[in-house]
A = this chain, B = another copy of it.
Amino acid sequence: PDREAFVTLATNDPYAYGALILGQSLRNVTTTRKLAVLVTSQVTQPLRRQLNLVFDHIQQVDPLDSQDAAHLTLLARPELGITFSKLHCWTLTQYSKCVFLDADCLVLRNVDDLFEREELSAAPDVGWPDCFNSGVFVFRPSLETHKELLQCALTLGSFDGGDQGLLNTFFKDWPTKDMNRHLPFIYNMTSSMSYSYLPAYLFFRHDIRIVHFIGLGKPWLYTYHVRNGHLQPPQGLTSHHDEEFVKKWWSIFVSHIKPRLEQESGSLLYEL
Protein backbone atom coordinates (compact mmCIF):
# COMPACT_ATOMS: atom_id res chain seq x y z
CA PRO A 1 0.00 0.00 0.00
CA ASP A 2 2.95 2.36 0.59
CA ARG A 3 3.85 2.16 -3.04
CA GLU A 4 0.30 2.83 -4.15
CA ALA A 5 -1.28 6.25 -4.44
CA PHE A 6 -4.30 8.22 -5.50
CA VAL A 7 -3.21 11.00 -7.86
CA THR A 8 -4.93 14.16 -9.03
CA LEU A 9 -4.01 17.29 -10.99
CA ALA A 10 -4.52 21.04 -10.57
CA THR A 11 -3.10 23.58 -13.01
CA ASN A 12 -4.65 26.59 -11.26
CA ASP A 13 -6.21 27.63 -7.94
CA PRO A 14 -9.86 26.86 -8.69
CA TYR A 15 -9.02 23.26 -9.61
CA ALA A 16 -6.70 23.17 -6.58
CA TYR A 17 -9.80 23.69 -4.41
CA GLY A 18 -11.29 20.71 -6.20
CA ALA A 19 -8.16 18.69 -5.45
CA LEU A 20 -8.32 19.73 -1.78
CA ILE A 21 -11.88 18.55 -1.26
CA LEU A 22 -11.18 15.39 -3.27
CA GLY A 23 -8.13 14.63 -1.11
CA GLN A 24 -10.08 15.31 2.06
CA SER A 25 -12.90 13.04 0.87
CA LEU A 26 -10.35 10.25 0.47
CA ARG A 27 -9.09 10.89 4.02
CA ASN A 28 -12.65 10.83 5.30
CA VAL A 29 -13.20 7.33 3.93
CA THR A 30 -9.89 6.33 5.60
CA THR A 31 -7.92 5.23 2.59
CA THR A 32 -4.74 3.31 3.39
CA ARG A 33 -3.02 4.59 0.25
CA LYS A 34 -0.84 7.66 -0.33
CA LEU A 35 -2.26 10.86 -1.81
CA ALA A 36 -0.34 12.74 -4.50
CA VAL A 37 -1.20 15.87 -6.45
CA LEU A 38 0.40 17.24 -9.61
CA VAL A 39 0.47 21.05 -9.76
CA THR A 40 1.79 23.53 -12.28
CA SER A 41 3.55 26.79 -11.39
CA GLN A 42 0.25 28.70 -11.58
CA VAL A 43 -1.00 27.21 -8.34
CA THR A 44 -0.25 29.80 -5.65
CA GLN A 45 1.57 29.33 -2.37
CA PRO A 46 -1.48 29.61 -0.07
CA LEU A 47 -3.18 26.81 -1.99
CA ARG A 48 -0.02 24.72 -1.95
CA ARG A 49 0.12 25.06 1.84
CA GLN A 50 -3.45 23.78 2.02
CA LEU A 51 -2.70 20.92 -0.34
CA ASN A 52 0.25 20.00 1.87
CA LEU A 53 -2.08 19.47 4.81
CA VAL A 54 -4.09 16.86 2.90
CA PHE A 55 -1.70 15.25 0.41
CA ASP A 56 1.42 13.20 1.11
CA HIS A 57 3.18 14.49 -1.96
CA ILE A 58 2.95 17.58 -4.17
CA GLN A 59 4.71 17.22 -7.50
CA GLN A 60 5.26 20.22 -9.73
CA VAL A 61 4.99 19.47 -13.45
CA ASP A 62 5.21 21.48 -16.66
CA PRO A 63 1.88 22.43 -18.16
CA LEU A 64 1.19 20.44 -21.32
CA ASP A 65 -1.38 21.81 -23.73
CA SER A 66 -2.82 20.02 -26.76
CA GLN A 67 -3.28 23.41 -28.49
CA ASP A 68 -6.01 21.70 -30.46
CA ALA A 69 -8.61 24.44 -30.80
CA ALA A 70 -10.51 22.67 -33.58
CA HIS A 71 -11.43 19.55 -31.63
CA LEU A 72 -11.92 21.41 -28.36
CA THR A 73 -14.49 23.60 -30.06
CA LEU A 74 -16.47 20.47 -30.95
CA LEU A 75 -16.34 19.63 -27.28
CA ALA A 76 -17.45 23.20 -26.44
CA ARG A 77 -14.62 23.25 -23.87
CA PRO A 78 -11.79 25.39 -25.31
CA GLU A 79 -10.02 25.32 -21.94
CA LEU A 80 -9.39 21.57 -21.85
CA GLY A 81 -6.17 21.42 -23.90
CA ILE A 82 -4.36 21.80 -20.60
CA THR A 83 -5.65 18.40 -19.47
CA PHE A 84 -2.74 16.91 -21.45
CA SER A 85 -0.78 17.77 -18.28
CA LYS A 86 -2.48 14.70 -16.82
CA LEU A 87 -0.08 12.52 -18.82
CA HIS A 88 2.69 13.45 -16.36
CA CYS A 89 1.09 11.18 -13.78
CA TRP A 90 2.97 8.31 -15.45
CA THR A 91 6.24 9.85 -14.18
CA LEU A 92 5.39 9.10 -10.53
CA THR A 93 7.58 6.00 -10.55
CA GLN A 94 8.05 6.03 -6.78
CA TYR A 95 4.65 4.29 -6.86
CA SER A 96 4.04 0.89 -8.42
CA LYS A 97 0.35 1.43 -9.04
CA CYS A 98 -1.89 4.50 -8.93
CA VAL A 99 -5.47 5.58 -9.34
CA PHE A 100 -5.88 8.90 -11.12
CA LEU A 101 -8.89 11.01 -10.13
CA ASP A 102 -9.94 14.26 -11.75
CA ALA A 103 -9.94 17.21 -9.35
CA ASP A 104 -13.72 17.48 -9.89
CA CYS A 105 -14.34 14.07 -8.30
CA LEU A 106 -15.71 13.41 -4.83
CA VAL A 107 -15.23 10.07 -3.08
CA LEU A 108 -18.28 8.94 -1.09
CA ARG A 109 -17.12 5.52 0.08
CA ASN A 110 -13.77 3.72 0.36
CA VAL A 111 -12.45 2.74 -3.08
CA ASP A 112 -9.10 1.14 -2.11
CA ASP A 113 -10.26 -2.01 -3.91
CA LEU A 114 -9.48 -0.17 -7.15
CA PHE A 115 -5.83 -1.13 -6.59
CA GLU A 116 -6.76 -4.74 -7.37
CA ARG A 117 -7.26 -3.66 -10.99
CA GLU A 118 -4.66 -3.43 -13.73
CA GLU A 119 -3.63 -0.67 -16.14
CA LEU A 120 -5.69 0.62 -17.84
CA SER A 121 -8.95 0.23 -15.95
CA ALA A 122 -11.66 2.85 -16.31
CA ALA A 123 -15.43 3.26 -16.52
CA PRO A 124 -17.41 3.85 -19.74
CA ASP A 125 -18.06 7.39 -20.93
CA VAL A 126 -21.78 8.07 -21.20
CA GLY A 127 -21.34 10.11 -24.37
CA TRP A 128 -19.85 7.22 -26.34
CA PRO A 129 -19.64 4.15 -24.06
CA ASP A 130 -17.00 2.33 -26.14
CA CYS A 131 -14.68 5.05 -24.90
CA PHE A 132 -13.68 5.18 -21.27
CA ASN A 133 -14.03 8.34 -19.23
CA SER A 134 -10.57 9.54 -18.24
CA GLY A 135 -11.68 11.13 -14.97
CA VAL A 136 -10.97 7.94 -12.98
CA PHE A 137 -8.42 5.32 -14.07
CA VAL A 138 -5.99 2.78 -12.70
CA PHE A 139 -2.44 2.98 -14.13
CA ARG A 140 1.17 1.93 -13.57
CA PRO A 141 3.69 4.76 -13.49
CA SER A 142 6.40 4.14 -16.10
CA LEU A 143 8.75 6.52 -17.87
CA GLU A 144 8.53 4.30 -20.92
CA THR A 145 4.73 4.60 -21.08
CA HIS A 146 5.03 8.33 -20.41
CA LYS A 147 7.34 8.70 -23.40
CA GLU A 148 5.07 6.65 -25.63
CA LEU A 149 2.06 8.73 -24.59
CA LEU A 150 3.84 11.97 -25.49
CA GLN A 151 4.89 10.38 -28.78
CA CYS A 152 1.28 9.39 -29.44
CA ALA A 153 0.19 12.95 -28.66
CA LEU A 154 2.58 14.25 -31.32
CA THR A 155 1.84 11.68 -34.00
CA LEU A 156 -1.80 10.62 -33.71
CA GLY A 157 -3.04 13.46 -31.50
CA SER A 158 -6.32 13.45 -29.61
CA PHE A 159 -9.66 13.10 -31.36
CA ASP A 160 -11.30 15.36 -28.78
CA GLY A 161 -8.39 17.70 -28.12
CA GLY A 162 -8.20 16.60 -24.47
CA ASP A 163 -6.52 13.81 -22.55
CA GLN A 164 -9.53 11.50 -22.94
CA GLY A 165 -9.28 11.28 -26.73
CA LEU A 166 -5.57 10.59 -26.52
CA LEU A 167 -5.81 7.97 -23.77
CA ASN A 168 -8.58 6.16 -25.64
CA THR A 169 -6.42 6.08 -28.76
CA PHE A 170 -3.42 4.80 -26.80
CA PHE A 171 -5.32 2.18 -24.76
CA LYS A 172 -7.48 1.24 -27.71
CA ASP A 173 -8.22 -2.36 -26.70
CA TRP A 174 -10.12 -1.18 -23.61
CA PRO A 175 -13.62 -1.69 -25.12
CA THR A 176 -13.05 -5.31 -26.16
CA LYS A 177 -10.20 -6.96 -24.31
CA ASP A 178 -10.78 -7.56 -20.62
CA MET A 179 -13.90 -7.14 -18.53
CA ASN A 180 -11.81 -6.57 -15.41
CA ARG A 181 -10.57 -3.33 -16.92
CA HIS A 182 -14.12 -2.04 -17.08
CA LEU A 183 -14.80 -0.27 -13.81
CA PRO A 184 -18.41 -0.26 -12.67
CA PHE A 185 -20.09 3.05 -13.39
CA ILE A 186 -20.49 3.68 -9.65
CA TYR A 187 -16.70 4.33 -9.53
CA ASN A 188 -17.08 7.25 -11.91
CA MET A 189 -20.66 8.40 -11.82
CA THR A 190 -20.60 11.34 -14.19
CA SER A 191 -23.03 13.48 -12.36
CA SER A 192 -24.84 15.26 -15.15
CA MET A 193 -26.28 11.98 -16.31
CA SER A 194 -28.62 11.55 -13.38
CA TYR A 195 -31.49 12.78 -15.47
CA SER A 196 -31.04 10.94 -18.74
CA TYR A 197 -32.07 7.57 -17.25
CA LEU A 198 -33.65 8.63 -14.01
CA PRO A 199 -35.11 5.25 -12.94
CA ALA A 200 -31.68 3.59 -13.15
CA TYR A 201 -30.11 6.51 -11.32
CA LEU A 202 -32.60 6.22 -8.46
CA PHE A 203 -32.22 2.44 -8.41
CA PHE A 204 -28.42 2.47 -8.19
CA ARG A 205 -27.60 5.77 -6.50
CA HIS A 206 -27.05 4.31 -3.00
CA ASP A 207 -24.17 2.32 -4.46
CA ILE A 208 -22.32 5.31 -5.91
CA ARG A 209 -18.72 5.53 -4.68
CA ILE A 210 -17.26 8.35 -6.73
CA VAL A 211 -19.21 11.30 -8.10
CA HIS A 212 -17.55 13.09 -11.01
CA PHE A 213 -18.82 16.63 -11.61
CA ILE A 214 -18.17 16.78 -15.36
CA GLY A 215 -18.94 19.83 -17.48
CA LEU A 216 -18.89 23.52 -16.76
CA GLY A 217 -20.83 23.51 -13.48
CA LYS A 218 -18.00 22.62 -11.10
CA PRO A 219 -18.99 22.53 -7.41
CA TRP A 220 -16.57 25.35 -6.51
CA LEU A 221 -18.43 27.63 -8.94
CA TYR A 222 -21.71 27.21 -7.07
CA THR A 223 -22.64 29.70 -4.37
CA TYR A 224 -23.21 27.96 -1.07
CA HIS A 225 -24.88 29.72 1.87
CA VAL A 226 -23.38 28.19 4.97
CA ARG A 227 -26.16 29.43 7.27
CA ASN A 228 -29.16 27.85 5.58
CA GLY A 229 -27.50 25.25 3.35
CA HIS A 230 -28.93 26.92 0.27
CA LEU A 231 -27.13 26.27 -3.01
CA GLN A 232 -27.12 28.33 -6.22
CA PRO A 233 -25.79 27.04 -9.55
CA PRO A 234 -23.09 29.15 -11.27
CA GLN A 235 -24.52 32.16 -13.10
CA GLY A 236 -25.82 31.36 -16.55
CA LEU A 237 -25.70 27.61 -16.02
CA THR A 238 -28.65 25.40 -15.33
CA SER A 239 -27.16 22.78 -13.10
CA HIS A 240 -27.17 19.21 -14.26
CA HIS A 241 -25.72 17.91 -11.04
CA ASP A 242 -27.67 16.31 -8.26
CA GLU A 243 -27.69 19.04 -5.60
CA GLU A 244 -27.26 16.49 -2.86
CA PHE A 245 -23.77 15.71 -4.09
CA VAL A 246 -22.78 19.34 -4.58
CA LYS A 247 -23.90 19.94 -0.99
CA LYS A 248 -21.75 17.03 0.15
CA TRP A 249 -18.79 18.68 -1.57
CA TRP A 250 -19.52 21.95 0.23
CA SER A 251 -20.06 20.26 3.57
CA ILE A 252 -16.48 18.94 3.39
CA PHE A 253 -15.33 22.43 2.48
CA VAL A 254 -17.13 23.89 5.49
CA SER A 255 -16.10 21.25 8.02
CA HIS A 256 -12.49 20.60 7.01
CA ILE A 257 -11.13 23.26 4.66
CA LYS A 258 -12.74 26.53 5.72
CA PRO A 259 -11.37 26.37 9.30
CA ARG A 260 -7.86 25.94 7.94
CA LEU A 261 -8.31 28.74 5.44
CA GLU A 262 -9.38 31.06 8.25
CA GLN A 263 -6.02 30.57 9.89
CA GLU A 264 -4.40 31.88 6.70
CA SER A 265 -3.97 35.56 5.93
CA GLY A 266 -4.00 35.52 2.12
CA SER A 267 -7.10 37.43 1.09
CA LEU A 268 -7.29 35.43 -2.12
CA LEU A 269 -8.57 32.53 -0.13
CA TYR A 270 -11.69 34.38 0.87
CA GLU A 271 -12.75 35.12 -2.65
CA LEU A 272 -14.07 31.63 -3.27
A199 close to chain B: CB less than 8 A: yes
Query: Is B129 touching A199 in the complex (CB atoms < 8 A)?
Result: no
* B-contacting 9-mer, from A36-44, A120-128, A249-257: A120-128
Query: Is B130 touching A197 in the complex (CB atoms < 8 A)?
Result: no
Query: Is B127 touching A129 in the complex (CB atoms < 8 A)?
Result: no
Query: Is A161 touching B199 in the complex (CB atoms < 8 A)?
Result: yes
A179 close to chain B: CB less than 8 A: yes
Q: Shortest beta-carbon distance, A28 to chain B, in Å?
A: 25
Query: Is A71 touching B128 in the complex (CB atoms < 8 A)?
Result: no
Complex Cα–Cα for A161 and B197 (A): 12
Query: Is B130 touching A127 in the complex (CB atoms < 8 A)?
Result: no
Query: Is B201 touching A128 in the complex (CB atoms < 8 A)?
Result: yes
Size of interface on A: residues with Cβ below 8 Å to B: 36
Query: Is B127 touching A196 in the complex (CB atoms < 8 A)?
Result: yes
Chain A residues 163-217 with CB under 8 Å of chain B are 165, 175-179, 182, 184-186, 193, 196-204
Q: Shortest beta-carbon distance, A225 to chain B, in Å?
A: 30
Query: Is A199 touching B165 in the complex (CB atoms < 8 A)?
Result: yes
Chain B residues near A75 (CB-CB < 8 A): 197-199
Q: Shortest beta-carbon distance, A164 to chain B, in Å?
A: 9
Chain A residues 38-93 with CB under 8 Å of chain B are 71, 74-76
Chain B residues near A161 (CB-CB < 8 A): 199
Chain B residues near A76 (CB-CB < 8 A): 198
Chain B residues near A131 (CB-CB < 8 A): 197, 200
A104 close to chain B: CB less than 8 A: no
A245 close to chain B: CB less than 8 A: no
A13 close to chain B: CB less than 8 A: no
Query: Is B197 touching A125 in the complex (CB atoms < 8 A)?
Result: yes
Q: Which A residues are closer than 8 A to B by beta carbons?
A: 71, 74-76, 123-131, 159-161, 165, 175-179, 182, 184-186, 193, 196-204
Having A131-B200, A159-B200, A165-B199, one finds 14 other A-B pairs with CB under 8 Å, namely: A71-B199, A74-B202, A75-B197, A75-B199, A124-B124, A124-B129, A126-B196, A127-B196, A128-B193, A128-B201, A129-B185, A130-B186, A130-B204, A178-B179
The 6 nearest A-B residue pairs measured at CB: A127-B197, A128-B200, A160-B199, A124-B129, A127-B196, A159-B203
What are 26 of the A-B contact pairs (CB < 8 Å)?
A71-B199, A74-B198, A74-B202, A75-B199, A123-B129, A125-B200, A126-B126, A126-B197, A127-B196, A127-B201, A128-B193, A128-B197, A128-B200, A128-B201, A129-B185, A130-B186, A131-B197, A131-B200, A159-B199, A159-B203, A160-B199, A160-B200, A165-B199, A165-B200, A165-B203, A176-B179
